[in-house]
Amino acid sequence: MNEIIIEAKAIKKTLGRGAGEVQALRGIDLALRKGELTLLMGPSGSGKTTLLLILGCMLTPSSGTVTVCGTTTSNADKEALARIRRDHIGFVFQSYHLFPTMTARQNVQLALDIRGQHGRDAARKSHEALGLVGLEKRARSLPDSLSGGEQQRVAIARAFVANPSVILADEPTSALDGENGRAIMRILADIAHKRDRAVLVVTHDPRIVSFADRIIRIEDGVLADDKSEEGERLRLPKTASWP
């Protein structure tokens, strides 16, 4: 069995207070493994994004424990959580969060700059990351000259450039057409399988299930289903097609 990168145990999360209090997560147990692309699927309000933010150490659980590459986040302060994110986690979101006045390469290299990596080595790593997503020839392009799919690929390169152990992606294909959605999922699958990383994609998009090794469904803050095959990649029939 592949190495566990992130493990969550008995995760609960309560949002709001008083009459507006909502129990977003109700005791989640989940492990993400190296070399595996996992889909976390569920309707809006099911708790999937809340769970992703907790796994990514951007949100603390009300109770339960999260362990990232052997380090528990229990009682960790903001600086310790920031170090875990910096050292182990790359994020990809539906909104690309690119700086409009910076080129594709500069947007990618920013992830290295905040880690204190500069100069030629950082430039080389940024160029290699853009090559991973097929955009080395667009390195000098500004975001407004790139398509939505290309901007998302830049965002993936930025998430991967610092060599994280896990990629957490929140609805990375929902704003894209079929061709670009497939391209994004092929890149994320390659990161999992060829680069031996754990990849979690949060989605409610049934068009991408064929790319998954494992599909987990969440409803009302509870994991309702976990489909995988022990020791080999899950191969599911397509339940929906790209337009």
Contact (CB, 8 A) for 170 and 119 = no
Q: Is 175 helix (H, G, I), strand (E, B) or coil?
A: coil
146: in domain? no
230: its two tokens: 């022990």
Q: What is the pLDDT of residues 161-208, one digit of tens each?
A: 999 999 999 999 988 888 889 899 999 999 999 999 999 999 988 889
9: in domain? yes
Q: Which domain holds residue 199?
A: 4-98+162-227
145: in domain? no
Question: Where residue 90 falls among pLDDT bands split at 50, 70, 90?
Answer: very high
Calculate mean pLDDT across residues 97-112. Answer: 95
Q: Is the dihedral of CA 55, 59, 64, 67 positive or negative?
A: positive
**Residue 234 pLDDT > 80, yes or no?**
no
**Residue 228 pLDDT > 90, yes or no?**
no
Question: Where residue 94 falls among pLDDT bands split at 50, 70, 90?
Answer: confident
Q: Which of 56, 59, 70, 72 is nearest to 24 (CA)?
A: 59
Calculate mean pLDDT across residues 89-104. Answer: 93
Q: What angle do CA 123, 125, 130 make, to 5 degrees?
A: 95
Q: What is the pLDDT of residues 5-38, one digit of tens each?
A: 999 999 999 988 887 788 999 999 999 999 999 9
How far from 66 is each of 7, 86, 199, 224, CA to CA, in Å?
A: 6, 16, 16, 20
Calculate mean pLDDT across residues 152-163. Answer: 96
pLDDT number for residue 232:
41
- Whole-number Å distance between alpha carbons of 201 and 41: 8
* HSE value, Cβ hemisphere, 13 Å, CA-based, for 190: 14
* HSE value, Cβ hemisphere, 13 Å, CA-based, for 16: 8
Amino acid making up residue 46: S
- Pick 75 or 150 by higher pLDDT: 150
Contact (CB, 8 A) for 104 and 96 = no
Cβ neighbourhood burial of 78 (10 Å; 0-12, 13-18, 19+):
exposed
123: in domain? no
Tokens 């999937």 — which residue? 48
Tokens 């692309």 — which residue? 37
Contact (CB, 8 A) for 5 and 69 = yes
pLDDT number for residue 1:
63
**Residue 219 pLDDT > 70, yes or no?**
yes
Calculate mean pLDDT across residues 62-75. Answer: 93
Global confidence as pTM: 0.89
**Residue 239 pLDDT > 60, yes or no?**
no
pLDDT number for residue 169:
96
C-alpha radius of gyration, the chain, whole number: 18
Contact (CB, 8 A) for 14 and 22 = yes
pLDDT number for residue 235:
39
CATH of the domain at 60: 3.40.50.300
47: in domain? yes
Per the structure, how many domains does the chain have?
A: 1
Q: Is 199 helix (H, G, I), strand (E, B) or coil?
A: strand
Question: Where residue 160 falls among pLDDT bands split at 50, 70, 90?
Answer: very high
